[in-house]
Structure 1
């Protein structure tokens, strides 16, 4: 399937979604991979992960980038090489869950997470969030809200990418209503307090969450 959807998060940030309906060989034959990516692909045992990896490269190609423009720093955070004479930094965040791969490209530092809705997230919610946020909700609402909270913490972690950050101990989301599709959160770590703005929404049976650093 071609590109599924583009979501304009702000004037400087776009989210691209690829719904994976192709088989592995179809995706593999449509992307050009560097040797290190081929080696990484060969280590993946899950067919879903392998196709998700390739679908991300399809999204790069849609944006006139390719696998050779993508690199990871020593902490595993993805980056895009500057093209031509552009002096603007281009930030990228990547996520994959089951049938969807997602990439957000932005002039701002940004974190992205996409998750399929599942009961397991609700079962493990006490491990990563204050369950007071789930009071007075029915089961479906609890699953959705717990998934958003997980995405908030995951997307902030992707921005900071610092060893030692704990989801329950260092990342705190303010209470929010699912219908607002916006939230705020705070990272308290290493004697610093940093604020983040959050955007989220549902796509079919999935939730995507994007975190932006507050610019002072």
Structure 2
């Protein structure tokens, strides 16, 4: 029987402000996450919308609420700026393609893997040479998750949540891990989601569950105040991976510097 391994743990990754002038390059061990505080970029939405193509602008208009339209414009344009910086490409040449599960990728630069997640006031973007999945969640006080437990967690996981001192944090910790992992796999939330491991330690994965034989890692981390994150990527922790969290500076000057990185 084909099996692979999944290692799950916590990371003490700390966010630092992105230094102006940093060259956008990736080593094979790099997993870089960018944090975007969306309200800080609202005033730049008109400037940022120039980086979106016609289908993206049409998609933005389909959002019913203005706040959702604004958030989409911000995180999609910054995603394209980041991808342009890493590929040394003009932003107008950054076109996202989608696989059968609607996971975006760059057909023009298949070596660059990326994933995006957004929740309330934050968005996050992960880039790597490795297949990567990312999920961030706001720890909502009003979200009633109890009725969902039987559908998305197995018996052991449900008991962990029900017996936890902080049930809400435990729920979001386990949920973000599952979500990040299936995004890394390129799977949607399907009937197998309930059986995706999400507890600390090393797990053996059957091929029929994940449909590949690669090994994987998942790390939980504190993303921001009242936000939890999880990132998943290929490989096991036998080598020293460089897991970094950068906060995108909230100025158009810093954002536009990304467009100049293609000249390096």
Q: State the TM bucket, normalised to the shorter chain.
A: 0.7 to 0.9
Question: Would the alpha carbon gap of residues 165 and 188 (structure 1) be closer, same or farther in structure 2, given more than 3 Å must change?
Answer: farther
Structure 2 counterpart of 1:167, from 193, 197, 202: 193
Identify, as 1 or 2, the structure richer in strand.
1
Residue 212 (1) aligns with residue 233 (2): yes
Deviation at 1:29, TM superposition (A): 2.2
- For the Cα contact (< 8 Å) 2:219–2:230, is it kept in 1? yes
Aligned to 2:112: 90
Q: TM-score, normalised by structure 1?
A: 0.75
Q: State the number of aligned residues.
A: 198
Query: Which of 103, 106, 129 pairs up with 1:77?
Result: 103
Decide whether the 8 Å contact of 2:30 with 2:128 is kept in 1: yes
Distance in 2, matches of 1:82 and 1:185, equals: 35
Query: Residues of 2 paired with 1:90 and 1:146: CA distance?
Result: 31
Does structure 2 retain, via aligned residues, the 8 Å contact 1:5–1:16?
A: no
Pick one of 192, 198, 215 that aligns with 2:218.
Answer: 198
1:145 paired with 2:170, answer yes
Specify whether residues 48 and 58 from structure 1 end up closer, same or farther in structure 2 by C-alpha distance, changes over 3 A only.
Answer: same
**TM-score using structure 2 length:** 0.63
- How far is 1:188 from its partner? 4.3
Tell me how large the CA RMSD over aligned residues is.
3.2
Q: Indicate the structure whose relative CO is greater, using CA pairs within 8 Å and at least 6 residues apart.
A: 2
Is 1:91–1:105's contact at 8 Å kept on the other side of the alignment?
A: yes
Structure 2: runs of 5+ lacking an equivalent: 1-14, 19-25, 239-264
